[in-house]
Amino acid sequence: MTTTTSAPFEQAQRATEQVRDFNERVAGTSRAFGQLALDTYEQAVANFVGLEHKAAEAAPVDWVKSAISAHATLVEDLAGAYVRALREALA
């Protein structure tokens, strides 16, 4: 009689393990996708900031150079803080 009562329990345990394994795979894939998205975002910001710094160098007026350079630095700092916070959350 023990075999008939333990069979549903064993099936439930197997199902629970399968769900746990599936959830771990989904979480791992989500983390990997999140890291890839952050890498892409970080590279896009770096490209934009680099372009802004080049524009600042080419500006004919000093105050325009300063304004563009300050904006590039602000974007770089904010994006860096955003990326660091998200990477920490994904860890």
Q: Domain tally for the chain?
A: 1
User: Which residues constitute the domain of residue 60?
Assistant: 2-90
Alpha carbon 54 to chain centroid, angstroms: 28
Instruction: Write the CB contacts of 46 (distance below 8 Å, at least 6 apart in sequence).
Output: 76
- Residue 91 has a pLDDT of 81
Using CA atoms, how far residue 23 sits from 3, 19, 43, 44, 89, in Å, is 30, 6, 30, 31, 18
Tens of pLDDT along the chain (91 residues) come to 455 678 888 998 999 999 999 999 998 899 999 999 999 999 999 999 999 999 999 999 999 999 999 999 999 999 999 999 999 998 8
Q: Supply the pLDDT for residue 42.
A: 96
pLDDT at 90: 84
